[in-house]
Amino acid sequence: MTTYLIKRIFILIPLMVGITLITFSVIHLAPGEPVEMQMAMNPKVGKEARERLTKFYGLDKPLHEQYFSWVANIAKLDLGRSFSSDNRPVVDKIKERLPVTISLNVIALILEFGLAIPIGILAATRRDTWLDKGITVFVFIGFAIPTFWLALLLMYFFGVRLGWLPISGLHTLGSDSWGTVHYLWDMAKHLIMPVMVASFGSLAGLSRYMRSAMLNVISQDYITTARAKGLSERVVIWKHALRNALLPLITLLGFSIPGLIGGSVIFETIFAIPGMGQLFYQGVMSRDYPVVMGILVIGAFLTLIGNLIADLCYALADPRIRHGEG
Question: Could you tell me which stretch among 22-30, 44-52, 87-95, 120-128 binds another protein (CB under 8 A)?
Answer: 22-30
With respect to another protein, which residue has the nearer C-beta, 56 or 301? Answer: 301
Pairwise CA distance, residues 160 & 291, whole Å:
34
Pairwise CA distance, residues 165 & 190, whole Å:
7
Name the CA dihedral angle for 42, 43, 48, 54, rounded to a multiple of 10 degrees.
40
Question: Could you tell me which stretch among 63-71, 86-94, 190-198, 253-261 binds another protein (CB under 8 A)?
Answer: 253-261
Helix axes 242-270, 90-125, angle to 10 degrees: 140
Q: How far is CA 127 from the centre of its chain?
A: 32
CB atoms within 10 A of CB 228: 8
Q: How far is CA 320 from the centre of its chain?
A: 29
With respect to another protein, which residue has the nearer C-beta, 34 or 58? Answer: 34
Could you give the string, one character per residue 83-122, with x where binding to another protein holds by CB under 8 A and - elsewhere?
----------------------------------------
Q: Give the burial string for 154-164 (b: 16+ CB within 10 Å, else e).
A: bbeebbeeeee
Q: CA distances (Å), 186 to each of 105, 166, 167, 273, in order?
A: 19, 9, 12, 14
Question: Could you tell me which stretch among 75-83, 88-96, 115-123, 277-285 binds another protein (CB under 8 A)?
Answer: 277-285
Instruction: Out of 265, 273, 310, 315, point to the residue binding another protein (CB under 8 A).
Output: 265
Q: How far is CA 179 from the centre of its chain?
A: 32
With respect to another protein, which residue has the nearer C-beta, 228 or 285? Answer: 285
DSSP-derived letter for residue 171 is S
Question: Could you tell me which stretch among 2-10, 216-224, 233-241, 255-263 binds another protein (CB under 8 A)?
Answer: 255-263
Task: Find out whether 252 and 240 touch, Cβ atoms under 8 Å.
Answer: no
User: Is residue 235 within the footprint of another protein (CB under 8 A)?
Assistant: no
Q: Which residues pair with 89 in a beta bridge?
A: 81
Residues 164 to 223 in contact with another protein, rule: CB under 8 A? none
Q: What is the CA radius of gyration of the chain?
A: 24
With respect to another protein, which residue has the nearer C-beta, 68 or 156? Answer: 156
Pairwise CA distance, residues 180 & 301, whole Å:
35
As measured in angstroms, the least distance from the Cβ of 175 to another protein is 23
Instruction: Out of 45, 79, 155, 195, point to the residue binding another protein (CB under 8 A).
Output: 155
As measured in angstroms, the least distance from the Cβ of 245 to another protein is 19
Instruction: Out of 60, 85, 86, 160, point to the residue binding another protein (CB under 8 A).
Output: 160
Task: Find out whether 254 and 306 touch, Cβ atoms under 8 Å.
Answer: yes
As measured in angstroms, the least distance from the Cβ of 149 to another protein is 4
As measured in angstroms, the least distance from the Cβ of 235 to another protein is 29
User: Is residue 152 within the footprint of another protein (CB under 8 A)?
Assistant: yes
User: Is residue 29 within the footprint of another protein (CB under 8 A)?
Assistant: yes
Residue ranges that bind another protein, judged by CB under 8 A: 14-15, 18-19, 21-22, 26, 29-31, 37, 140-141, 143-149, 152-153, 155-156, 160, 258-259, 261-263, 265-266, 269-270, 280-281, 283-285, 287, 289, 292-293, 295-296, 299-301, 303-304, 307
